[in-house]
Amino acid sequence: MKVRCSSLLFLLAVILIIAGCTHNKTIEGFSATDWSEISDTNWSKIGRQAIDDNRWNEALNAYDKVLELNPNDASAYYNRGLAYSNLGNYKLAILNYDRAIELNPKDADAYYNRGNAYSRLGNSSYANQDLKMAAKLGNIFAQKSLKEKGITW
């Protein structure tokens, strides 16, 4: 199995964070003398890369850092929702989508993904409600899904 260098760097960074190491280090192209110097924007980039690489737990760790630095970052909650959904933890995914929607009520993708999480939990009423809102806000996947079910929005 071929392991990507960026995956190893991220894993090393997480280990160093847990160990409380404060020496000079580089993570995914970000240099810092202390982990506290890494901005929420850079943690978001690290989290996005972890999501792109299907490294869900690493993404959660990065977005936890984002939210420590910026507790009102709607996209961090949204991305944590994605990670939890991909890990099969739909209840935690819904809680994160809830907060993302609270902070950004026009986020069609958050409604769409929360609807999918509700569907996975067997709650078709809430799922369809969210899919309708996502469709109204322009999410084409929600529109297609509802059209296939014969549901108008």
Domain annotation covers residue 89: no
The helix/strand/coil state of 70 is coil
pLDDT digits (tens, 9 = 90+) for 65-121: 999 999 999 999 999 999 999 999 999 999 999 999 999 999 999 999 999 999 999
- Report in angstroms the alpha-carbon separations of 149 from 26, 100, 115, 146, 152: 50, 27, 14, 5, 9
Domain annotation covers residue 90: no
Give the burial class of 14: count Cβ atoms within 10 A of its Cβ; 0-12 exposed, 13-18 middle, 19 or more buried: middle
| Number of structural domains in the chain | 1
pLDDT value of position 38: 73
Domain annotation covers residue 12: no
Domain range enclosing 153: 106-153
Domain annotation covers residue 41: no
Average pLDDT over residues 15-43: 54
Domain annotation covers residue 119: yes
Rounded (10°) angle between helices 108-120 and 124-136: 160
Q: What is the pTM of this model?
A: 0.76
Q: Which two tokens stand for residue 89?
A: 């933890």
Residue 120 contacts residue 104 (beta carbons within 8 Å):
no
pLDDT value of position 16: 45
Domain annotation covers residue 71: no
